[in-house]
Structure 1
Amino acid sequence: MRAAVVSSFGGPEAVEIVEVAVPEPGTRQVRIKVAAAGVNPVDAGVRAGVFGGAGQRLGLGWDVAGVVEAVGVASGWTVGDEVVALAYGTAKTLGTHADLVVVDADAVAAAPRSVDVAHAASLPLNALAAAQALDRLGLEPGQNLLITGAAGAVGGYAVQLAARLGVSVTALAREGDEELVRSLGADRFVSDGVAPRSVDAVLDAAILGADALDWVRDGGAFVGVIPGAHPASVRGVGTSAVEVAADGARLAELVALVDEGVLTTRVAGTYALDEVVKAHARLAEGGLRGRLVLVP
């Protein structure tokens, strides 16, 4: 079967399609026939060597939508189930950018019924990251949250989820994105920041770091999206970063919100698996409003 991997670090051209053995599911695992798989910035990071792993062949891809093809003992799933899942890890030998992938059964959820497989594949990593970041912030209804990069994949889900919680959302994005982020539930739009110490919390999906921290009131909260890269605490502001965790139960809740029309999935474009280099090149150009998705 085919899989997208990197054996040496570099730009989009470092990604190659190779033939690998069909993976077998172990206890409490399932094998999924990939119907669609999201291409995320973390894949570009793996490709570029940001997370290390020199001298290894690294598989790419975290998001997957597809059909259960084989099950291990005590998986709880059945062959033929339509599912979505998160295949966590920056140093895995096989990711979701492949014809088949094996994942832990507790990372899997039934696929949404209301969207196609490409849109379903845009959900796991980014929606889980947004939900888990909001969990860290622990905001109450009526509190003020500034979301940077609010028009992006993580930021867009965060806007919708925070608005659903009754949090007052200020969305920081490019000037042309105001209509979009307001449609997602933002109460206020800004394109160049806010007054210092004027919000209760920041979810920094744009990775602005210390600049965004300055906008948080004393004793507020800051959550970034790159583990270990968040700024140090100042003025009593609690700072941390979300490291997304595979969580099938939470993913099922997010799927339900998609089917209820609460969460909007966005796909910026689709590519065949054999066009993965083109997908990485497009990702590198930036400016996407939604996820690129591989459709094997």
Structure 2
Amino acid sequence: MRAVAMTSFGGPEVLSVVEVPTPEPEAGQVRVRVKAATVNNFDLVARAGWLGGMLPPGPRYVLGWDVAGEIDAVAPDVTGFAPGDAVIGMSDWLDTRAGTYAEYVVLNAASVTRAPAGATPLQAATIPVNGLTALRILELLDPAPGATIAVTGAGGAVGGYTAELARGRGHRVLALASAQDEAFLTGLGATFVPRSDDPVAALRAHAPDGVDALVDAATIGPEMIAAVRDGGAYAGLTPPKTPGPERGIGVHRVHVTADGARLAELVSLAEQGRLTLRVAQDFPFEQAPQAHAMLAKGGVRGRVLLTP
């Protein structure tokens, strides 16, 4: 089968289309014929060689966590899926090394769920990693009904899903983002807060006593904790560089794993029109370097995807 692989670390140019063996599903697994795979920031980090000893140089790596496609084969012990089923799924890539930048990928059946009705494969592939991350964020923050939640980078992939899910649960959302995101975020019912050189002050202008919870999807840094009220909660996508909780604030680093049951929740929301699936641009496998370069440049709204 064809796959996008790299045999050395570096810039986008290390990616190329190669022939690799087609994987076979083992017990508890399904094989998915890939129709769309999302490019994630983690893929850029792994490709650049910034993971240190976690990825030794030399082996051929096929990247990719999210997938939308159809079931191609199932292990004899798997029930609930059959060839031809449209599905989405997620590979816990650091554990599996089963990249989705390929014509086929084998995943645990528990990591897969049916694709949302009416969504294209490109749209459906935007859900897994960032949707599961947004769900995990709200689980960690555990906000009280009607809480005020601030989201930095609210126009981005994780931030957008988090803001939308929080609004769907009845929370007040302060959405810190650039001017180009105002219409999208106000359309979700969030309060738009323009990005500024002093984001803490900008948020405090809307919540003088501090927000109940803050999601630092833009990875501004732990200084954003200053926008949170005493006893509130903070969630970041990178480890917060703080000595520990301050002012009784719960500090959380978000880590997400594949979960087909939680994915099914997100699919249901998408089908109800309560989760907006945004596609920025798709590229064929042969243009994977251009896809990585586009994401690395920043300012992307919606997801960058690869198609076989």
Scaled to the shorter chain, the TM-score interval is: over 0.9
Partner in structure 2 of residue 127 of structure 1: 131
Helix, strand or coil for the counterpart of 1:119? helix
Correspondence 1:179-198 to 2 at 5 A: 179-192=183-196, 193=199, 194-195=203-204, 198=210
The two structures have a TM-score, normalised by structure 2, of 0.92
Partner in structure 2 of residue 239 of structure 1: 251
Correspondence 1:67-78 to 2 at 5 A: 67-76=70-79, 77-78=81-82
The alignment yields a C-alpha RMSD, in angstroms, of: 1.5
Counterpart check, 1:150 vs 2:143 = no
Deviation at 1:212, TM superposition (A): 1.2
Partner in structure 2 of residue 199 of structure 1: 211
| Equivalent position amino acid for 2:251 in 1 | T
Partner in structure 2 of residue 61 of structure 1: 64
Q: Is the Cα contact below 8 Å between 1:230 and 1:241 reproduced in 2?
A: no
Q: Is the Cα contact below 8 Å between 1:29 and 1:73 reproduced in 2?
A: no
| Equivalent position amino acid for 1:130 in 2 | A
Deviation at 1:186, TM superposition (A): 0.9
| Equivalent position amino acid for 2:8 in 1 | S
Deviation at 1:272, TM superposition (A): 0.4
Counterpart check, 1:25 vs 2:28 = no
Looking at structure 1, the residues matched to 113 and 294 of structure 2 have their Cα atoms a distance apart, in angstroms, of: 29
Shift in alpha-carbon separation, 1:34–1:240, aligned structure 2, 3 A: same
Deviation at 1:122, TM superposition (A): 0.8
Q: Is the Cα contact below 8 Å between 2:91 and 2:98 reproduced in 1?
A: no
Counterpart check, 1:287 vs 2:299 = yes
Counterpart check, 1:273 vs 2:277 = no
| Equivalent position amino acid for 1:86 in 2 | M
Deviation at 1:188, TM superposition (A): 4.1
| Equivalent position amino acid for 2:3 in 1 | A
Looking at structure 2, the residues matched to 85 and 94 of structure 1 have their Cα atoms a distance apart, in angstroms, of: 12
Q: Which moved more, 1:230-239 or 1:26-35?
A: 230-239
The two structures have a TM-score, normalised by structure 1, of 0.95
Helix, strand or coil for the counterpart of 2:50? coil
Deviation at 1:177, TM superposition (A): 1.5
Looking at structure 2, the residues matched to 93 and 168 of structure 1 have their Cα atoms a distance apart, in angstroms, of: 39
Counterpart check, 1:257 vs 2:269 = yes
Deviation at 1:71, TM superposition (A): 0.6
Q: Is the Cα contact below 8 Å between 1:63 and 1:86 reproduced in 2?
A: yes
Deviation at 1:234, TM superposition (A): 1.6
Q: Which moved more, 1:53-62 or 1:201-210?
A: 53-62
Q: Which runs of 5+ in 2 are unaligned?
A: none
Looking at structure 2, the residues matched to 185 and 105 of structure 1 have their Cα atoms a distance apart, in angstroms, of: 36
Looking at structure 1, the residues matched to 90 and 271 of structure 2 have their Cα atoms a distance apart, in angstroms, of: 19
Helix, strand or coil for the counterpart of 1:90? helix
Partner in structure 1 of residue 8 of structure 2: 8
Deviation at 1:58, TM superposition (A): 2.2
Q: Is the Cα contact below 8 Å between 1:140 and 1:166 reproduced in 2?
A: no
Deviation at 1:229, TM superposition (A): 4.5
| Equivalent position amino acid for 1:246 in 2 | A
Counterpart check, 1:80 vs 2:92 = no
| Equivalent position amino acid for 1:54 in 2 | P
Deviation at 1:57, TM superposition (A): 2.5
Q: Which runs of 5+ in 1 are unaligned?
A: none
The sequence identity of aligned pairs, in percent, is 44
Deviation at 1:16, TM superposition (A): 2.3
